Amino acid sequence: MTPTPWLQALLRALPLALLAPALGVAVALGIRSPRGRLWRLVSAAVALLALATLGPEAFEQLGLLAAPVALLGFALPALVERWAARHAAPTPPRDCEHAPDCPHAERPGLDATFAVLLAHRLFDGLAAVALDPHHGGSLHADPLPLLLLHGVPVMLPVLIGLRAQRGRLMALRRSLWLGLAPLLGASTMALPAVADALLAAQPWSAALLLGVLGHGVVHPAGAPHAHHRHEHP
């Protein structure tokens, strides 16, 4: 019996969905963020693999038009991060959130960061299905391993920041939301109109994803930020 398109999409995004709660459990158990150098190595590896796999296919099918699309994907994360930092409300740690002289009161809050990350995960689930080489279309490279590898330095620092400011249980709960998001994104591919449109746009999506993954080399998502460095028991 052949699985329905909806079930196929969910199964495709399942590894992405399971990654987030696995990181949430690790954070709840006390894992600490590795040094920024390791994140840079991971981000560089993802970018190089993306360039070697998605790059040739995107440029072969789009020609030079792939370059501005990839540049847009490269710039998009930085624009979103600036927007989140500008609109984030301060989120002080639990032990001084009501103290007027809290030294951490001016840290950017994690709520806006988490909202952006949630949208990021929706996109990951959608991209995993839309660029599935076994789903049809014109691409042969599979971005799923890249999305999995990219997801670790993207999610782990945010979950660690949540643990520091709101406790282990909150970090674990938020990781479940981050696990649900790729499934929701992938499920939209069960809609025939969405599936047809995204399959037709595969080269454009591949070029955009190439730029997004390449952004990590300049600004590794897991590199420590000011509001992630200190933890409070």
142: tokens are 């599979």
40: tokens are 């840079």
d(CA 77, CA 209): 11
Query: What residues does each domain of the chain span?
Result: 38-90+106-227
137: tokens are 């279309």
Taking a C-beta distance cutoff of 8 angstroms, is the pair 58, 66 a contact?
A: yes
Which pLDDT belongs to residue 122?
A: 93
d(CA 20, CA 181): 10
* E runs forming strands in the chain: none
d(CA 143, CA 207): 12
Taking a C-beta distance cutoff of 8 angstroms, is the pair 171, 24 a contact?
A: yes
Which pLDDT belongs to residue 145?
A: 92
- Residues in the chain with pLDDT values less than 50: 97-107, 222-233
The pTM of the full predicted model, rounded to 2 decimals, is 0.80
Round to the nearest angstrom and report the end-to-end CA distance of the chain: 52
d(CA 233, CA 166): 10
Give 143: exposed, middle or buried? Use CB within 10 Å, 0-12, 13-18, 19+: buried
Which pLDDT belongs to residue 227?
A: 42
pLDDT tens-digit readout, 149-194: 999 988 998 999 899 988 999 999 999 999 999 999 999 888 888 8
Which pLDDT belongs to residue 163?
A: 92
